[in-house]
Amino acid sequence: MDAREETAEEPSLFPTAVSEEQLEEAKTESTSKPLYVSSQVFPAPGEKRMLQGSLIIQKRASEHYMNGKEAMEKCQYEKAVICFSKGINLQPEQTQLYVSRAEAYLQLCDFQSAAACFKQACVRQPRSFSDRLAFVYYLQGQCLFDRGLFLDALESFTKAAQVKPGCRTSAVRSLACLTAAGHLTDCLQVLNDWIASDEPTSDLYVLRARLHKQMNQNSQCYRDVQSALLLKPSCPEAEALLLQLREAGEGARRAAVGRALTGHLSEALSLINLALGNCPEDGRLYLCRAILYRRLQDFSAAIEDLLQAAELSEAEEAVRRQAEAPDGGAQRGWLQKEAELQLVLTYNDLAVQCFGRGLYAEATVLLNKAVQGEKGLAGLYLNRGDCFFRQREWSFALADYQQAEEMLPGEPAVRLRLGVVHHTLGSLYFEEGRFHDAAVMFSAAVRQNPTASRYYENRSKAFRKVLNWERAQQDLICTLILDPTNEELPPMIMSLFPGSSVSDVLSSPAAQTVRVELMEAVRAFSSGSDQQSSLSQDPCEAGRGLKLCVNQQELMMSLKSFVQVRESLSSLHEPCTTLTPASAHSIHHQSDPQSDPQSDPQRDPQRDPQRDPQSDPQRDPQRDPQHDPQSDPQSDPQTDPTH
């Protein structure tokens, strides 16, 4: 081999059968073709690098999640938050990482961060974590509420209610926040809307009852408590509230009774109103308030309360009969009886007020209602008799006075009225020429009141008309004894005892007999008056507070004349007065009482300065402002039982 061939073969250390051109072509083909036939199983080199990076991130995020779980198990919540946060940074689309970090924040009481994490989880998986988010808001609100941040707590509870609308717990806590913040009106409005829109429950009624109690609306509180007990009879919260209301009402009632006993009626009324606010269905309280209204002369309000008390009593009685054995003849409760009695007394008091104003017809109507409700009170008949008398209904007045006499025999107030009405009827009969009937009526008047000199005087005139001279003379002697200064007596003496002086008449044996009989009659009448307590002091009447159209002062002024008559009879001396010649010419006129104006039983009282004090007590001009003694024949004190 020559030297040139050796030089050409030296550069190739590894000889090959493939030429350089073939090698270059093979390199080019290798860059464009996969190593294996299936490119789907083995991706290109760039794709492989990307897949390896995702796996690495996923692996690291999984490691952080597992580390966070381990930290949670070891109660290392700060470390768990860091781990979950690292995982979220690597894989922010993983919902579980947000949920886990939210739980870690919740353990750290970082409610705001926990709520934010749950909100992120809800964005990625709607409705999956709403309950948990609402719970976080609820816990946040409760913590704020415990710290006294009521408005911030209200915001949290409101968010919880919005996240979970069907849950009333958060809504109720919102009401608690409104109440604690002092927004009671807003809270009440929300409760009213709930009760109106949804089916009410005992808890809602109890909640509203407490709200009403806090707002001092005790009557509404009582009604809500009753509604709660109707839905749930064994509700302990409602029973506790009801007990508090009853105790408060009883305390106010006792205080009201104490103030009323001391005469502070306005304060007592305020206290009884407070008691009614706590127990608006207690009939006793309506009865007490009605009595106060009656004493304050607010009769319309008293009547309304009494009707309400009677209605409540009937309802309670019906419930009691249903609970026990049905009995149609069961006795009515004391409350209803007392309410009916107080209603009668209220009608009577209103009638007395009308009587004082001259409204006799209206007073009669009211007394008719009172008598219809209670027929056992003599004072009602006396008052109605006075009203009839003022209306000149003499027969009706007499009937009522007689009814009162049957119930209170010997009562001075009744006897005075009977004497006056009998005398009035006798005077009317005398004017009509019915002298016998007039004498009968005057005799009845004398039996009822033997101390009234005018009764004897007018009966003497009536007996003279019927030619009963002996009885006429006896009555004239009685008149002389009772009223020796009567200026109308001298003409009558000259007519019945011609030629005799007053001393002759009084010193006669007949006069002595008449004096003894008269003194005995007056003594019996006065002793009976002393033994009988006056009507206003009668236990059965005074305990019931019955008022009379004629007040006690006027009656006592009339009764004082009994003592005066007794004293005058015991210390009476025979007068030495003789008949004057100037009066002899009146004998002829005295024989006809209708021709002598002074002998008229209905004479003008203003012409008689010596009117009988028994039947003419001092008149109170304010008793009857419409009364005109010049035009009203009732101004005669002997014909008006009210004087």
- Residue 488: CB atoms within 10 A of its CB come to 18
Per DSSP, 396 falls in state: H
Q: Which of 209, 240, 266 is the last residue of a domain?
A: 209
45 domain-assigned: no
Q: What is the pLDDT of residue 150?
A: 87
Give the up-direction half-sphere exposure of residue 284: CA atoms within 13 A in the CB hemisphere.
13
The helix-helix angle for 202-214 and 218-231 (nearest 10°) equals 170
What is the rounded average pLDDT of the residues 215-228? 91
Q: What is the pLDDT of residue 554?
A: 59
Q: What is the pLDDT of residue 273?
A: 94
Q: Which of 186, 209, 232 is the last residue of a domain?
A: 209
23 domain-assigned: no
For the stretch 102-130, pLDDT in tens is 888 878 888 888 888 878 788 787 777 87
Contacts of 516 (CB under 8 A, 6+ apart): none
What percent of the chain lies above the pLDDT cut of 90? 29
- Residue 133: CB atoms within 10 A of its CB come to 22
Tell me which of 174-178, 421-425, 563-567, 614-618 is least confident.
614-618
| DSSP-assigned states of every residue in 462-497 | HHHHTT-HHHHHHHHHHHHHH-TT-TTHHHHHHHHS
- Give the CATH number for residue 130: 1.25.40.10
76 domain-assigned: yes
Give the up-direction half-sphere exposure of residue 627: CA atoms within 13 A in the CB hemisphere.
24
- Residue 4: CB atoms within 10 A of its CB come to 7
d(C-alpha 319, C-alpha 539), whole Å: 35
91 domain-assigned: yes
Is residue 523 over pLDDT 50? yes
d(C-alpha 588, C-alpha 582), whole Å: 13
Q: Which residues of 199-214 are buried (b: 16+ CB within 10 A; e: fewer)?
A: ebebbbbbbbbbbbbe
532 domain-assigned: yes
What phi, psi does 408 have (nearest 5°)? -130, 75
For the stretch 17-60, pLDDT in tens is 545 665 466 555 544 444 334 444 445 555 555 557 677 777 77
Which residues span the domain enclosing 161?
53-195+202-209
Q: What is the pLDDT of residue 622?
A: 33
What is the rounded average pLDDT of the residues 8-13? 42
| Largest pairwise CA distance in the chain | 224
Q: What is the pLDDT of residue 33?
A: 43
- Please answer whether residues 306 and 287 qualify as being in contact, where contact means their C-beta atoms are separated by less than 8 angstroms: yes
Q: What is the pLDDT of residue 29?
A: 52
For the stretch 235-277, pLDDT in tens is 999 999 999 999 999 999 999 999 999 999 999 999 999 999 9
What is the rounded average pLDDT of the residues 55-66? 76
Q: Which of 209, 234, 258 is the last residue of a domain?
A: 209
Number of folded domains that form the chain: 2
d(C-alpha 67, C-alpha 47), whole Å: 30
559 domain-assigned: yes
6 domain-assigned: no
Q: Given the structure tokens 């209605």, which residue do they identify?
A: 311
102 domain-assigned: yes
Q: What is the pLDDT of residue 20?
A: 62
What is the rounded average pLDDT of the residues 501-522? 85
For the stretch 305-355, pLDDT in tens is 999 998 888 877 666 665 554 444 444 578 888 888 999 999 999 999 999
User: pLDDT class for 570, splitting at 50, 70, 90?
Assistant: very low
The better pLDDT of the pair 95, 540 is held by: 95
Tell me which of 70-84, 363-377, 441-455, 507-521 is least confident.
70-84
CA 463: distance to chain centroid? 63
The better pLDDT of the pair 202, 581 is held by: 202
Q: What is the pLDDT of residue 393?
A: 93
Type of residue numbered 595: S
